[in-house]
Structure 1
Amino acid sequence: MNSADSRTPFHRSARILLLLVLLAAGALLTACNRGEPMAWRLTNVTGHMPDLDFKLTDDQGKTVTGKDFRGKAVLLFFGYTHCPDVCPLTLAQLHVAMQRLGPLADDARILFVSVDPARDTPEIMHAYVNAFDPRAVGLTGTSGDIEALAKRYRSAFTREPDKGDNNYNVSHSSAIYLFDRNGKARLLSTPANPQDDLVHDLSLLLETKS
């Protein structure tokens, strides 16, 4: 009898601890289902960058705005079709990421904004982005429009002077900006981030219903 009594407090404490663990797990699951604290691996920029907003020309020659992509998760990237390395590598990696996402990728769009509008016509942009992924959209516009959009998202680029042979390079930032289905800036990916991190966070972003 005394032995049984001595074990009772331990068993009671164990049951209480188990209950607390289960309650904590349930609370965490509820938070995730509500789209609250996510285990992001990329840089979380929620509340620190403006919504997706622009007015440019897409690779079909149509005027589009940020609102045209509501309901889709968006990956925004600045580059140009004559880029010798960073742009083709990034677009190839984004294509692989889309493939890894499977059917979820249908609700995502890659927006490739040209920082070289003088050479990147809608037709050239269309052929270029579609060589990488059918969910990629090329965007171009006036130099002023592009500069304003880059400034909006703290992206930078510098064009070399054109010596008359139409052969010059453009130095540009390589970050990828991720927006949720409501056009809210949520995450920032850089070349230093493993592709697994991008796939992980984009999957969470796509699974979160607005």
Structure 2
Amino acid sequence: MKFPRPLRLALLLLSLTGALLLGGCQHDALPFRLTNISGHMPDLQFQLTNDNGRPVSAADYRGKVVLLYFGYTHCPDVCPLTLAHLHVVLQKLGKQADDVRILFVSVDPARDTPEVLHAYVNAFDKRAVGLTGSPGAIEALVKRYRASFTREPGSQGGNYEVSHSSAIYVFDRNGRARVLSTPGTPQDDLVHDLDLLLGAGASA
């Protein structure tokens, strides 16, 4: 039976839509425990400077599962607690943790030089990388992932704090955003989801 051209086009669009929906279901098939953000956040993308003073981009971390976190070294509470939390998670993963990288992006580039960042992140975990850059580059990356930060008024001594969001963005080996964690997430739930991403390989 030959359908009129407008109907044929409608049927074609319907079949394409169904294929896309099916593809989305397959893409999100892993049984995550944490908030699944697959398809709802952009891929990992940046050009910054690492804690060894070298320019790096997201491409340098392809093949690794990435935990992206925005913070700063003078943070009095949530940043050290979060890095300690992630260190324990990686310890629980055992040998698999070698394929994970914690990317600690400073929202205080004026004080967080590569040297300062290197000493700070390495005190928590050798698989953590400190990243810094121009204020514009940092702001663009923060906006890309719908995070936020605000520098609080400084004291007479020049000290100040930076209020910032505390989400931990988890990307798969291909740089795709997959789950969202927080410092309060049960460690075993994050271990579970990282284990899924590490076991799924690059085809996840």
TM class, shorter-chain normalised?
A: 0.7 to 0.9
- Asked if 1:167 is matched to 2:159, the reply is yes
- Asked if 1:66 is matched to 2:43, the reply is no
Counterpart Cα distance in 2 of 1:164 and 1:141 = 27
Residue in 2 that maps onto 1:94: 86
**Which is greater in Rg?**
1
Residues 81 and 183, structure 2, Cα contact 8 Å, conserved in 1: no
Counterpart Cα distance in 2 of 1:64 and 1:145 = 13
Counterpart Cα distance in 2 of 1:80 and 1:113 = 8
Question: Normalised by the size of structure 2, how large is the TM-score?
Answer: 0.84
Query: Given the superposition, is the C-alpha separation of residues 36 and 189 from structure 1 closer, same or farther in structure 2, using an over 3 Å criterion?
Result: closer
Specify every segment of 5 or more residues in structure 1 that has no aligned partner in the other structure, as ranges.
Answer: 1-33
Query: Given the superposition, is the C-alpha separation of residues 122 and 164 from structure 1 closer, same or farther in structure 2, using an over 3 Å criterion?
Result: farther
Instruction: String of CA shifts for 1:164-198, please: whole Å, max 9, x gaps.
Output: 53310000001000000000011100234211110
Residue in 1 that maps onto 2:116: 124
Q: Secondary structure at the match of 1:145?
A: helix
How far did residue 117 of structure 1 move? 0.4
Residue in 1 that maps onto 2:149: 157
Counterpart Cα distance in 2 of 1:147 and 1:164 = 26
Residue in 2 that maps onto 1:111: 103
Q: Secondary structure at the match of 1:92?
A: helix
Counterpart Cα distance in 1 of 2:47 and 2:82 = 24
Residue in 1 that maps onto 2:45: 53
Residue in 1 that maps onto 2:186: 194
Amino acid at match of 1:104: Q
Residues 56 and 139, structure 1, Cα contact 8 Å, conserved in 2: yes
Counterpart Cα distance in 2 of 1:176 and 1:166 = 29
Residue in 1 that maps onto 2:75: 83
Question: Normalised by the size of structure 1, how large is the TM-score?
Answer: 0.82
Q: Secondary structure at the match of 1:208?
A: helix
Residues 85 and 183, structure 2, Cα contact 8 Å, conserved in 1: no
Moved over 3 A (4+): none
Counterpart Cα distance in 2 of 1:130 and 1:172 = 22
Pairwise CA RMSD: 1.3
Identical positions, percent: 70
Specify every segment of 5 or more residues in structure 2 that has no aligned partner in the other structure, as ranges.
Answer: 1-25
Q: Count matched residues.
A: 177
Residue in 2 that maps onto 1:20: none
Residues 35 and 208, structure 1, Cα contact 8 Å, conserved in 2: no
Residue in 2 that maps onto 1:4: none
Counterpart Cα distance in 2 of 1:66 and 1:169 = 28
